[in-house]
Structure 1
Amino acid sequence: MAAPLSPDRLLAALRAEGVRVVEHPGWRTRNRNHKGAWGPVHGVIVHHTVSSGSAASVALCRDGYAALPGPLCQAVIDKEGTVHLIANGRANHAGAGDGDVLRAVRAQTAPPSPNEQDTDGNAHFYGFECVNLGDGKDPWPAAQMDAIERASAAICRAHGWSAASVIGHKEWTSSKSDPRGFEMRTMRARVAARLKTTTAPARPDRPATPRYQPFPGSAFFTAKTSSPVITAMGRRLVAEGCSEYAVGPGPRWSEADRRSYARWQRKLGFSGADADGVPGRTSWNALKVPYTP
Structure 2
Amino acid sequence: MATPLSADTLLNALRAEGVRIQEHPGWRTHNRNHKGAWGPVNGIVIHHTVSTGSASSVALCRDGYSELPGPLCHGVIDKAGIVHLIGHGRTNHAGLGDGDVLDAVAAETTLPAPRRNDTDGNAHFYGFECVNLGNGSDPWPDAQLDAIERASAALCRAHGWQAASVIGHKEWTGTKVDPRGFTMESMRARIKARLGGAPGSDAPSGGGTTTPPSPSAPRYQPFPGAGFFTASPNSPIVTAMGHRLVAEGCSAYSVGPGPRWSEADRRSYARWQQKLGFSGSDADGWPGRTSWDALKVPHSG
Q: Does the TM-score normalized on the shorter chain lie above 0.5? A: yes
CA contact (8 A) 1:18 1:203 kept: no
Residue 94 (structure 2) pairs with residue 102 (structure 1): no
CA contact (8 A) 2:197 2:203 kept: no
User: What is aligned with 1:26?
Assistant: 26
Structure 2: distance between partners of 1:151 and 1:6: 16
Superimposed CA distance per residue, residues 126-153 of structure 1 (whole angstroms, 9 cap, x where no aligned partner): 0000000011110000000000000000
Q: How does 1:41-190 map to 2 (within 5 A)?
A: 41-190=41-190
Partner-residue secondary structure (3-state), 1:156:
helix
Shift >4 Å, 4+ stretches: 208-211
Partner-residue secondary structure (3-state), 1:128:
strand
Structure 1 letter corresponding to 2:113: S
State the 1:198 CA deviation: 1.4
- TM-score relative to the length of structure 1: 0.69
State the 1:200 CA deviation: 1.8
- TM-score relative to the length of structure 2: 0.67
Superimposed CA distance per residue, residues 193-243 of structure 1 (whole angstroms, 9 cap, x where no aligned partner): 100001423499xxx6769xxxxxxxxxxxxxxxxxxxxxxxxxxxxxxxx
Superimposed CA distance per residue, residues 165-192 of structure 1 (whole angstroms, 9 cap, x where no aligned partner): 0000000000000000000001001001
Superimposed CA distance per residue, residues 239-280 of structure 1 (whole angstroms, 9 cap, x where no aligned partner): xxxxxxxxxxxxxxxxxxxxxxxxxxxxxxxxxxxxxxxxxx
CA contact (8 A) 1:45 1:127 kept: yes
Structure 1: distance between partners of 2:134 and 2:192: 25
Greater relative CO (CA pairs within 8 A, separation 6+)? 1
Structure 2: distance between partners of 1:163 and 1:62: 27
Structure 1 letter corresponding to 2:149: E
Structure 2: distance between partners of 1:136 and 1:9: 35
Structure 2: distance between partners of 1:69 and 1:150: 28
Partner-residue secondary structure (3-state), 1:170:
helix
Q: Residues 210 and 124 (structure 1 numbering): CA distance in 2 closer, same or farther, change over 3 Å?
A: farther
- What is the Cα-based RMSD across aligned positions, in Å? 1.5
User: What is aligned with 2:281?
Assistant: none
Q: Residues 203 and 174 (structure 1 numbering): CA distance in 2 closer, same or farther, change over 3 Å?
A: same
Structure 2 letter corresponding to 1:149: E
Structure 1: distance between partners of 2:110 and 2:162: 11
Q: Residues 80 and 33 (structure 1 numbering): CA distance in 2 closer, same or farther, change over 3 Å?
A: same
Q: How many residues align?
A: 208
Superimposed CA distance per residue, residues 77-130 of structure 1 (whole angstroms, 9 cap, x where no aligned partner): 000000000000000000000000000000011211000000000000000000
Structure 1: distance between partners of 2:57 and 2:197: 32
What are the ranges of 5 or more consecutive residues in structure 1 without an aligned counterpart?
Answer: 212-293
Structure 1 letter corresponding to 2:125: F
CA contact (8 A) 1:201 1:209 kept: no
Structure 2: distance between partners of 1:68 and 1:209: 45
State the 1:75 CA deviation: 0.2
Partner-residue secondary structure (3-state), 1:47:
strand
Partner-residue secondary structure (3-state), 1:45:
strand
What are the ranges of 5 or more consecutive residues in structure 2 without an aligned counterpart?
Answer: 205-212, 217-301
Structure 2 letter corresponding to 1:102: L
